[in-house]
A and B are shown apart, each in its own frame.
Chain A
């Protein structure tokens, strides 16, 4: 057994480029994902940044003036006009929207640049800005007329985006949508109230405090680097299985396997050598990845020894899961003398596992079947366990995930023993 282990580890160590790939690539990907998708995760230093252009084709002051002089022509008394004037300045949508943009949360997120239409379209097509917000001509006049006198169809805000895939554009559009809806709703309420003859001076309910954020435990939400350190680690550790299985193919091709059998060793000891070396290699890979990533990107701040002990335990269990996968792949490869299994695994299955296990994006938005499959993949279960452990859950709560991986490994290893050929074949 010991010599089998030595053989497998030596083969891998001699193959520098492959080893480098296994260790370096996840590292690069953590950096890529961590940087690429940062800002989407709270607790990140940089929140989402949205630059938008405002194209003002309307003149607010002139609009209000026009509105007032219109009413004068209608024969309203100066008193009414003066009152309308003060209200109009207060509720002019342009002013209200500017107040929304000055709100503390949005001020940090949104950068507004005033432009004319051509400049704005140019900036949008070169992706300097995420969206254009246009106030069409007569915007203030038409909307005030509707708001205060319930006359006419109001006006329209125009949001122009480069394409609908842009997250910034999506968030900005939803902010404007929210504003439009709130303004319409408030107007409708005021109008309904005045229909009933009730006049309320200041309608202040809009500012009621609603909502809020809770985290699952008392700890902070997980940052993007933390999430992707775990997510990519659990994905790349799967490549250990296909790598070792493809080595088995070479050994079969070069008659190494047959020579081992001729020496009188039991075939299963070859297989168990593979399993144990997979476990050890996978564990080392996880260990190296977590250490180097935490030194470089510093994702895990304020954690204690218990945290690392838990991480080690989960990693050990996950490595056993990888051992199970290696067993099946090796058994299939040797039995059918075909490399297809390891290439399909490394090309297709790993990606599917990674996706369903949530290594790329949280799976909640997908069909239910996806998260069910994900929970039963070794990487998905391990990722859940890592995440819960990071959030400060108790040992009991991560136990089921580890149980799943162990159960899966037992099934995999048992079936590999069943598949593995007992006799020499040519």
Chain B
């Protein structure tokens, strides 16, 4: 077993390009999507009607930018129209003297939230203007506003308060890291298919080494490669980019281990079904991508409303991986809460591994 394992490591040392590339891609991609300077604020393009003077437009922008969730930028009308129509932005806001319009090409869910906010800013300003005509100053209204009759308190079921924006960065970090690790694991597992093709596998079988040692050597190597990749990425984002991954890194390690096991086992199943490396090359990206889409690695699964798809998503290990990681990082899940998701992943792994090895042995 040890020698099989070391052989794989030696292979990695000789031809590290694939593994290293995926490792770098993960970091670059997560950093590009989640990091950057935008820090959770969603930037919204605004433009003005030709009738509106720049000063008034700037005033509106300033009022609008008091928001924590949005950042409004004033651009030329042609730029805004171009960006929206080419699908690069889902909407833009057109400012008028005392009104606004939303410019929409393809719709997205944030529109409801944005619309509510812009409407509130505009209607408040217009009402204040009316009040000023009556001789009531803006400051008086603001001082009364401090002690308004209602407050809104938002909590999660576990009693944690948080915000809706915070979640997106972690979603990208977890989803993308788990997604890219599928490639690292499965492309490394392709060594098995390659060995079978070249005949090394048969020679190893007739050697004194036991069958289980042979499998375990390969699986352990793939597990370790995937595990180390995910852990390094998380450590990097925790310590270098200061992402808040919660206080319990030990549980995160546990979740990663179960997830990696499930993916290694899934890889085993795929190799059991698809024999040629050519086909594996084609099938792995497609399996990984569709699994990530269905399992909510690219966007939070909560935005999916279709019942059938929700049911399908329950069969995807990546769903449980992302959920469990979010649970630990955001809601301080303990072992008790994690128990169910962890055992589902392990069960998934055991089943896939069983079927996969059976298929490998059959033919």
Chain A positions within 8 Å of B, measured between CB atoms, are 15, 17-18, 21-22, 25, 28-29, 32-33, 35-43, 46, 48-49, 93, 121, 124-125, 142-144, 146-147, 150, 153-171, 173-178, 180-185, 187-189, 191-193, 195-196, 198, 205-206, 208, 210-217, 221-222, 227, 239, 242-243, 246-247, 250, 338-340, 342-344, 346-348, 350-352, 355, 358, 360-367, 369-371, 374-375, 383-384, 387-388, 391, 393, 397, 401
Give the complex CA separation of A177 and B127 in angstroms: 19
Q: Report yes or no: A375 in contact with B88, Cβ–Cβ below 8 A.
A: yes
Q: Report yes or no: A211 in contact with B101, Cβ–Cβ below 8 A.
A: yes
Say yes or no for B311: interface residue by CB 8 A criterion: no
Q: Report yes or no: B106 in contact with A163, Cβ–Cβ below 8 A.
A: no
Which of these, A153, A164, A213, contacts B164 with CB under 8 Å?
A164
Q: Chain B contacts of A173 at CB under 8 A? A: 152, 154, 164
How big is the B interface, by class?
Answer: 35 or more
Say yes or no for B196: interface residue by CB 8 A criterion: no
Residue in A closest to B148 when the chains form the complex, CB atoms = A184
Q: Report yes or no: A358 in contact with B87, Cβ–Cβ below 8 A.
A: yes
The answer to whether A208 and B123 touch (CB under 8 A), given A42-B104, A388-B85, is yes
Q: Chain B contacts of A189 at CB under 8 A? A: 127-128, 131, 136, 141, 144
The answer to whether A164 and B330 touch (CB under 8 A), given A171-B112, A212-B102, A348-B25, is yes
Q: Report yes or no: B25 in contact with A39, Cβ–Cβ below 8 A.
A: no
Give the complex CA separation of A167 and B165 in angstroms: 11
Q: Chain B contacts of A37 at CB under 8 A? A: 299, 303-304
A interface secondary structure, majority = helix
Which of these, B116, B162, B163, contacts A175 with CB under 8 Å?
B116
Q: Report yes or no: B127 in contact with A33, Cβ–Cβ below 8 A.
A: no
Q: Report yes or no: B18 in contact with A214, Cβ–Cβ below 8 A.
A: no
Give the complex CA separation of A195 and B101 in angstroms: 35
The answer to whether A38 and B306 touch (CB under 8 A), given A222-B106, A358-B88, is yes
- Provide a sorted-by-A list of 29 A–B residue pairs whose CB atoms are within 8 angstroms: A38-B306, A93-B150, A121-B157, A146-B148, A153-B147, A164-B164, A164-B330, A165-B300, A165-B301, A165-B302, A178-B116, A178-B119, A184-B148, A188-B142, A192-B136, A205-B123, A210-B100, A214-B94, A216-B105, A221-B106, A242-B281, A348-B25, A361-B298, A364-B83, A367-B35, A375-B88, A387-B106, A388-B85, A397-B85
Q: Report yes or no: A28 in contact with B290, Cβ–Cβ below 8 A.
A: yes
Q: Report yes or no: A165 in contact with B167, Cβ–Cβ below 8 A.
A: yes
User: Measured between C-beta atoms, what is the minimum distance from B45 to chain A in Å?
Assistant: 8
Give the complex CA separation of A187 and B149 in angstroms: 8
Q: Report yes or no: A183 in contact with B148, Cβ–Cβ below 8 A.
A: yes
Q: Report yes or no: A387 in contact with B105, Cβ–Cβ below 8 A.
A: yes
Which of these, A166, A184, A192, contacts B140 with CB under 8 Å?
A192
Give the complex CA separation of A187 and B243 in angstroms: 40
Instruction: Give a binary string over B27-39; 1 marks a CB under 8 Å from any A CB, 0 the rest.
Output: 0010011011110
Give the complex CA separation of A187 and B251 in angstroms: 48
User: Measured between C-beta atoms, what is the minimum distance from B160 to chain A in Å?
Assistant: 9
The answer to whether A184 and B145 touch (CB under 8 A), given A35-B309, A192-B131, A387-B87, is yes
Which of these, A159, A167, A365, contacts B153 with CB under 8 Å?
A159
User: Measured between C-beta atoms, what is the minimum distance from A214 to chain B in Å?
Assistant: 5
User: Measured between C-beta atoms, what is the minimum distance from B17 to chain A in Å?
Assistant: 5
Q: Chain A contacts of B90 at CB under 8 A? A: 362, 364
Give the complex CA separation of A374 and B135 in angstroms: 53
